[in-house]
Structure 1
Amino acid sequence: MEQWKKNLAVLWFGQFLVMGGMTMIIPFMSLYLQSERIGLTDQHEIATWAGVIFAGNFVTAFLFQPLWGKLSDRYGRKMMLLRSGFGMAIVMILMGFATSPWHLLLLRMVNGTISGFNPAAVSLISITTPKDRMGFAMGTLQSGGIAGTILGPFMGGLLADAVGYRPIFYLTGSLLFAASMLAFIIVKERFNREEAAAKPAMSVVEGFRKLSAVPQLMALFCVTFLLQFANIGPMPLMPLYVQELHGTTVNLAFWAGFVGSAAGLSNMFASPLLGRLSDRIGQERILGLSLIGAALLFIPQAFAGSVWQLLLFRLLQGCFMGGLIPSVNALVRRFTPDGMEGRSFSLNSSMLALGNMIGPIVGGLVSGWTGIRGVFLISAGLFLLNAVWVRRTLISKRGARVGGEGS
Structure 2
Amino acid sequence: MQNTFEHALPDAQGYFGEYGGSFIPPQLESIMIEIAAAYEECRKDPAFRTELARLYKHFVGRPSPIFHAENLSAKYGADIYLKREDLNHTGAHKINHCLGEALLAKKMGKKKLIAETGAGQHGVALATAAALVGLECDIYMGEVDIQKEHPNVVRMRILGANVIPATHGRKTLKEAVDSAFEAYMKDPVSQIYAIGSVVGPHPFPMMVRDFQSIIGNEAKEQFKEMTGGLPDNLVACVGGGSNAMGLFTAFLEDDEVAIHGAEPAGRSLNVEGEHAATLTLGEPGIMHGFKSYMLKDKDGEPQEVHSVASGLDYPSVGPQHSYLKDAGRVNYGTVSDDEAIDAFFELSRLEGIIPAIESSHAVAYALKLAKQGEKGSILLNLSGRGDKDIDFVVEHYGKDYGIESLI
Bigger-Rg structure (1/2): 1
**Greater share of residues in strand:** 2
Greater relative contact order: 1 or 2 (C-alpha under 8 angstroms, separation 6 or more)? 1
- TM category, shorter: under 0.3
TM-score of the superposition, structure 1-length normalised? 0.26
TM-score of the superposition, structure 2-length normalised? 0.26
